[in-house]
Amino acid sequence: MSNRSLVTTFFLTGLPHAPALDTMLFGLFLVIYILTVLGNLLILLVIRVDSHLHTPMYYFLTNLSFIDMWFSTVTVPKMLMTLATPGGGAISFHSCVAQLYSFHFLGSTECFLYTVMSYDRYLAISYPLRYSSMMRGRVCALLAAGTWLSGSLHSAVQTTLTFRLPYCGSNQVQHYFCDAPPILKLACADTSAIEMVIFVNIGVVASGCFLLIVLSYVSIVCSILRIRTSEGRHRAFQTCASHCIVVLCFFVPCVFIYLRPGSRDVMDGVVAVFYTVLTPLLNPVVYTLRNKEVKKALLKLKDKVAYSQSQ
């Protein structure tokens, strides 16, 4: 990072809205954040205590729940501070660096994890008899570790490229968290080359992961159509539909913000809400309301709690 950076504090302008909506938006996002954290914690607890859910699919789901819980925590509390207090948008230079790194670390790790999860579903549906031997515990651990390592390296590149530039002018970040596009607009240097590198870097990761996911699901659909029983086809489609819903809600807003020419501050901030606030909430909702196994595990946990309280 450059020693020429004179800016020591950035100021996040937050979401564009009328001041009269501060209280309403604060309450709305606070409720969503609490539900997100509690919902993902519940998934982690249920999968932990129910031995029937100790399978590769739910192993990756625990990783996803853990990521979503912290992914939301990286951005939402600061947004709530911005809404609640007049000076709540102030963030130190180093805190801004940490927020940008954490955001891209968790976001890119989630991107890689979605790809691994689609591969897991492909093996489970296409090779049901060999699935257990192909996705042993060691293989699952290596795949999960690979997503976290890849995410950390990808984020390190984004953060280093963004903050190696000097920042000596305006400190008004037109966003509700520190992200590369609005931060680069404040740099006191030509950013075109770095913007192109970041564009290509994110583009390769996002398009590569999305292409692999699409290929996995094309193969999955072909395998599902070969299932003889209608009940088997329905169950396979239902399992994959949950994954597809969350994947689309994550990738579409990201592509809109990072992989299009030009930038519209107002629109980018609004669209970012979908994958920073709403998608982490969708994970527990989609994977519990659409999943019979998780519902059964929740009922068992509820009965255990009720029984322990009655003793």
Is residue 2 assigned to a domain? no
Residue 291 sits at the vertex; the CA angle it makes with 285 and 297, to the nearest 5 degrees, is 95
Q: Report whether pLDDT(290) > 70.
A: no
Predicted confidence at residue 177, as pLDDT, reads 93
Helix axis angle, 292-310 to 22-49, nearest 10°: 80
Across residues 271-299, what is the average pLDDT? 80
Predicted confidence at residue 53, as pLDDT, reads 85
Q: Which amino acid would we find at residue 236?
A: A
In the numeric block, which tokens belong to residue 102? 């954490």
Winning range, highest mean pLDDT, from 65-79, 196-210, 247-261, 294-308: 65-79
Predicted confidence at residue 2, as pLDDT, reads 47
Share of the chain above pLDDT 90, in %: 40
Tens digit of pLDDT for each residue in 42-99? 889 888 888 888 889 899 999 999 999 999 999 999 999 999 888 788 999 999 999 9
Tens digit of pLDDT for each residue in 117-131? 999 988 988 888 899
Across residues 251-261, what is the average pLDDT? 75
Residue 237 — pLDDT band, cuts 50, 70, 90? Answer: confident
For residue 188, give Cα distances in angstroms to 1, 40, 90, 98: 14, 41, 20, 21
Predicted confidence at residue 273, as pLDDT, reads 85
Q: Report whether pLDDT(1) > 60.
A: no
Tens digit of pLDDT for each residue in 23-34? 999 999 999 999
Read off φ and ψ for residue 172, nearest 5 degrees: -85, 105
Tens digit of pLDDT for each residue in 140-166? 999 999 999 999 999 999 999 999 889
DSSP alpha helices (H): ranges in the chain?
A: 22-49, 56-84, 93-126, 131-134, 137-163, 180-184, 192-225, 230-258, 265-273, 279-289, 292-310
Is residue 3 assigned to a domain? no
Predicted confidence at residue 278, as pLDDT, reads 87
Q: Report whether pLDDT(252) > 90.
A: no
Is residue 106 assigned to a domain? yes
Contact status, residue 40 vs residue 68, Cβ threshold 8 Å: yes
Neighbours of 156 (CB within 10 A): 13
In total, the chain counts a number of residues equal to: 311
Predicted confidence at residue 15, as pLDDT, reads 86
Integer Cα distance of 109 and 155 in angstroms: 9
Residue 253 — pLDDT band, cuts 50, 70, 90? Answer: confident
Q: Which range marks the domain in which residue 41 is found?
A: 9-310
Integer Cα distance of 42 and 36 in angstroms: 10
Is residue 295 assigned to a domain? yes
| Domain CATH number, residue 137 | 1.20.1070.10
Q: Closest Cα to residue 188, out of 167, 211, 159, 157?
A: 167
In this predicted model, which residue has the larger pLDDT, 255 or 110?
Answer: 110
Is residue 4 assigned to a domain? no
In this predicted model, which residue has the larger pLDDT, 268 or 177?
Answer: 177
Predicted confidence at residue 81, as pLDDT, reads 93
Predicted confidence at residue 262, as pLDDT, reads 56
Domain count, the chain: 1
- Per DSSP, 4 falls in state T
Q: Report whether pLDDT(3) > 60.
A: no
Read off φ and ψ for residue 263, nearest 5 degrees: -150, 135
Is residue 82 assigned to a domain? yes
Is residue 176 assigned to a domain? yes
Is residue 181 assigned to a domain? yes
Mean pLDDT, rounded, of the chain: 85
End-to-end CA distance of the chain: 60
Residue 35 — pLDDT band, cuts 50, 70, 90? Answer: very high
Sorted by sequence, the CB contacts under 8 Å of residue 121 that are 6+ apart come out as 57, 216, 220, 239, 240, 243
The least confident of 10-14, 209-213, 259-263 is 259-263
Check the CA dihedral 195-254-239-215 and report its sign: negative
Integer Cα distance of 275 and 270 in angstroms: 10
For the chain, the maximum distance between any two Cα atoms, rounded to a whole number of angstroms, is: 69
Tens digit of pLDDT for each residue in 165-208? 899 888 899 889 999 888 998 998 888 888 888 888 888 888 88
Contact status, residue 205 vs residue 108, Cβ threshold 8 Å: yes
